Amino acid sequence: MQISYQWQQRMDRVKNAARGIFGGTGDNQPRPKLCPSCGSLVGINATRCHACGASLRFSLAAATRGVSGLFGDENPVTRVLLYANIAMFVVTYIAGIAAGQSGFSIAFSGSGEALYRLGASYWPAIQYFHEYYRLVTASFLHMGLLHIGMNMMVLMDVGPQAEHEYGSAKYLFVYIFSGVGGFLLSAVRGHFAVGASASLMGIIGVLLAMNMKRGGALAQAQKSRLISWIAMTFMIGFFPGVRIDNWGHFGGLATGFILGRVMTDRQAVTSRERQFAQALGWLAGLVTVVSFVLMFAHYRDPIPGR
């Protein structure tokens, strides 16, 4: 069976990424390699970098480079987050129909049952059933087309800038754990909440902290724009009848701002900085994957009160 040119390209990209993770090359000809951690040129038969000591057979740096190659070299984490949010919106839509929700209402509000089963943030489930994974999965769920549309527009606006400034690994760490901070505060306040906005407020918070450290007209202009966004977001949340969780927004913003104050406001430079940043990124990725596994494992659990 013949395979189209586009699919052949995708398969080659996956193969090359897998070889990169385990230290292979695209052909059988031995050739010098670049260390994925520090970028130093190493020998053909080397198994460890002479400059930084990183393993050339398998390391977090090589794995990070291989995974990033699957989604392109420019803003790979932002792309993955965009795809993941859209995919979960489709899953929510299908689950809502299975739960008896009319397909037309999805433009305005999601199915409460579907959102609960797919991991919405809800304090009783977190407190009494220890379903802590909800603090992560809630960031990938949305109430409707308007909800996800606005959040994805913000993601594509602030995400690439934060990923460029901090690097993909630290950016993913800030995104995931800002969401955790936001939904933890929201849940404690008794809210049933979903949406990427807590994580996005964390990204805005880390960018605000970065620009507060820097001087110059550009940093001042960026800071003013970010503060305007924050003020507008919280003002909308106080409008009567608007279902916006300002507690979640505040928790995400505070978490991101604190991380921005303690982290260096640039990409990792030294080998040690790279290793630390990659560890943070893989920790965030592992926490996310485990959270989704637990969500699917508990998907058919009885809903309290029913």
Which whole-number Å values give the CA distances from 237 to 19, 87, 120, 242, 248, in the listed order?
Answer: 48, 27, 19, 6, 11
What pLDDT is recorded for position 21? 46
How far from each other are the two terminal CA atoms of the chain, in whole angstroms? 51
For the record, the structure tokens of 299 come out as 């998907």
> Within the chain, where are the H helices?
5-21, 60-69, 76-98, 112-117, 123-129, 134-137, 145-166, 168-188, 197-213, 217-237, 246-262, 271-297
| Candidates 3.40.50.360, 1.20.1540.10, 3.40.30.10, 3.30.470.10; CATH matching 76-297 | 1.20.1540.10
What pLDDT is recorded for position 25? 47
What pLDDT is recorded for position 22? 47
What pLDDT is recorded for position 50? 60
Residue 133 pairs with which residues in a beta bridge?
none
pTM: 0.78
Q: Domain coordinates of the chain in residue numbers?
A: 5-69, 76-297
Averaged in consecutive runs of 10 residues, what is the pLDDT profile of the chain (306 residues)?
A: 57 59 50 61 65 57 54 80 96 84 57 90 94 97 90 94 93 97 95 95 96 87 89 77 82 96 85 88 97 96 77
Q: How many CA atoms lie within 13 A of 298 on its CB side?
A: 22
Tallying the residues shown for the chain, one arrives at: 306
